[in-house]
Structure 1
Amino acid sequence: MQSTLPIHFAPLQGYTEAIYRQAHARIFGGVESYYTPFVRVEHGEIRKKDMREITLENNRGVQLIPQLIAPDVDKMELIIALFIEKGYKNVDINLGCPFPLLAKRHNGSGMLPYPEEVRELLTAAIKNHPDLQFSVKMRLGWENPEESLALLPLLNELPLTHIIMHPRLGKQQYKGEVDLKGFEAFYNECRHPLIYNGDLLTVEDIQTISERFPRLAGIMIGRGLLANPALALEYQQGHPLSEKDMQERLRLFHADVFAQYGNLLEGGDKQLLTKMKNFWEYLMPDGDRKAKKAIHKSNKLETYQAAVRSLLG
């Protein structure tokens, strides 16, 4: 029987924040490492929220890898300085974000068609910071899969710890099918440990990918874990949670996140309600539709909590 691969929790802006990560690690687990949503420079400085999100005291019990996104070396250096100040030794560089406003400024997957810019960014990171370890999260390209293949000679010669590949194009964003043939072409020539990321919603999905690509170093999951927070645990232990166990963990998970955001947010009930509705956007896609609709329509915390109790039984 094939041994299980390590599962890494993909970063999703607005969802996998420090409060969520800590609660998930405590109540579900099964995840080897959590990646932060990318830290970026805006108007010449790093957002205070991003600084708070990556502090070690806000991520207790979590193996955390901070991620940055930058269109040039100067912005990257500003973010790396923050990571060093916070005590991190591992840094992930985002070459995969498909958000058009960022991509058109050569951030994320928007940089993939420009190999010289990628070379400048990555070689500067490695040369300037020999004490840090760098990985790259990327897509097959912005316009076509040939872009990632054109970058492989550069990537293969750099001392990266690993590469995470989401086999879509940037211009697709999250639409359409993943391109497994494009992934396979990259996989066959990649000399670094390679982690697969994209459209893994069930244990069977993970097993299918790991059997097709037996040299994978790991699996990264984002939306699949937001939908079923037990997915990594169920894969690692080889069987699903009982319905009773799952319901109890979901109750604890929700209560923990609700309480922590209640302590953090200063905008009162309305801000907390908005944040908690976000919590349910992916979670339990097969849950009772009436209760989920009531959650999203609620305009008071009392009606929200009643709808949650109805959903979780």
Structure 2
Amino acid sequence: MDVAVKNEGVMQGGFSIQFSPLQGYTDAVYRRAHARFFGGVECYYSPFVRIEHGEIRRKDMRDIEPENNENLSLVPQFIASDRDKAEHILSLFVEKGYRNANLNLGCPFPVLARRHNGAGMLPYPDEVESLLTGVAEGFPQLSLSVKLRLGWDSPDECLALLPLLNRLPLSAVILHPRLGRQQYKGSVDLDAFAAFYDACEKPLFYNGDLLSADDISDIHERFPRLAGVAVGRGLLANPALALEYRQGSALPEAEKMERIRKMHDFVFDAYSRQLQGGDAQLLTKMKSFWDYLLPDADRKARKAVLKATKLGAYHAAVSGLTGK
């Protein structure tokens, strides 16, 4: 089965909205549900596939199985600290029929960063060059993009990598304008993004703190040459965000809540079949569905969902929250 991104993630008109991955949230079940009931994005990225104890994690392999991502434009993402690990993962992508891959140089998780994974590799340009050139040379059949941060300690780190990024046959660069040591705290640095933007010769995507259609419009207005944006938490909070931006107006509230209810039921049914740990495991998984969703909803109703210890109480709380 050919699971390549259908249109390289760029919509007619030249500005693409892509769904950025979040570990523990945007798995195959969630992606299928979002695409079915909301959509509006040109492609989805998988949470990064990585090597653990010498092997690719089984749950990562399941998540990118073509049969679990039917009718999706999916770009599998990977994270690796050296060429050997990257080649192991990319061989799997090729085996599964993918023609696109995304390297994560942006993850700020300290445990991984200390081992020169993700944003933790950015202070070491020689290592980045070895990894990227090795991947580009070893897998010319893959269209490779890179997601990165400004650096770990300094925005100068991403600027130092620009000659390499411009030279390599990359399909796109996605930049989140925070430092790795910031994690997700503090503000994005738009001036540092601008410096990168001015010198970047590859299709460039902006990622970070896009929570509304106005946020997307503001970024596009300030950086008109952008190929698009990659949105993560903003879409988890409002699954209609990309659709609303595309159509130029918000969904009617009743319609949005109906779609959210249907999306929830789809996800619940899928996890009910997939998880083997009983009601407690299912409840834990479903509560994560609400971590970001509808942040401005009634606090008492949200709390009831998150405190439910039985499926009956959970369903009643969800009905109360969504007005079903």
TM-score norm. by structure 1 comes to: 0.98
- Secondary structure of the corresponding residue to residue 236 of structure 2: helix
- Secondary structure of the corresponding residue to residue 39 of structure 1: coil
- Once the two structures are TM-superposed, the CA of residue 5 in structure 1 deviates from its matched residue by 2.3
- 2:64 counterpart (30, 54, 61): 54
CA contact (8 A) 1:273 1:299 kept: yes
- Once the two structures are TM-superposed, the CA of residue 247 in structure 1 deviates from its matched residue by 1.1
User: 1:239, 1:280 → 2: CA distance?
Assistant: 24
Opposite residue 64 of structure 2, the aligned amino acid is I
User: 1:154, 1:285 → 2: CA distance?
Assistant: 40
CA contact (8 A) 2:47 2:77 kept: yes
- 2:104 counterpart (94, 101, 118): 94
Corresponding residue for residue 28 of structure 1: 38
Corresponding residue for residue 38 of structure 1: 48
Opposite residue 295 of structure 1, the aligned amino acid is V
CA contact (8 A) 1:26 1:61 kept: no
- Secondary structure of the corresponding residue to residue 299 of structure 1: coil
User: 1:294, 1:129 → 2: CA distance?
Assistant: 50
CA contact (8 A) 1:4 1:235 kept: no
- Once the two structures are TM-superposed, the CA of residue 61 in structure 1 deviates from its matched residue by 1.8
Q: Please list, as runs of the form range in 1=range in 2, the aligned pairs for 1:98-177 lying within 5 A after superposition.
A: 98-177=108-187
CA contact (8 A) 1:126 1:134 kept: yes
- 1:223 counterpart (208, 228, 233): 233
- 1:17 counterpart (8, 11, 27): 27
Corresponding residue for residue 253 of structure 2: 243
**What is the CA deviation profile of residues 192-230 of structure 1, one whole-angstrom value per residue up to 9, with x for unaligned ones?**
000000000000000000000000001100000000000
In structure 1, stretches of 5+ residues that fail to align are none
- Secondary structure of the corresponding residue to residue 178 of structure 2: strand
Corresponding residue for residue 197 of structure 1: 207
- Is 1:214 the counterpart of 2:224 in the alignment? yes
**What is the CA deviation profile of residues 154-186 of structure 1, one whole-angstrom value per residue up to 9, with x for unaligned ones?**
111001000000000000000000000000000
Opposite residue 165 of structure 2, the aligned amino acid is L
Corresponding residue for residue 257 of structure 1: 267
CA contact (8 A) 1:4 1:236 kept: no
CA contact (8 A) 2:14 2:227 kept: no
- Secondary structure of the corresponding residue to residue 215 of structure 1: coil
Q: Count how many residue pairs are aligned between Structure 1 and Structure 2.
A: 311
In structure 2, stretches of 5+ residues that fail to align are 1-12
Q: Matched residues, percent identical?
A: 64
CA contact (8 A) 2:16 2:229 kept: yes
- Secondary structure of the corresponding residue to residue 251 of structure 1: helix
| Runs of 4+, deviation exceeding 4 Å | none
Opposite residue 190 of structure 2, the aligned amino acid is L
Opposite residue 78 of structure 1, the aligned amino acid is H
CA contact (8 A) 1:140 1:168 kept: yes
TM-score norm. by structure 2 comes to: 0.95
- Once the two structures are TM-superposed, the CA of residue 4 in structure 1 deviates from its matched residue by 7.5
Corresponding residue for residue 294 of structure 2: 284
- Secondary structure of the corresponding residue to residue 308 of structure 1: helix
Corresponding residue for residue 9 of structure 2: none
User: 1:178, 1:144 → 2: CA distance?
Assistant: 13
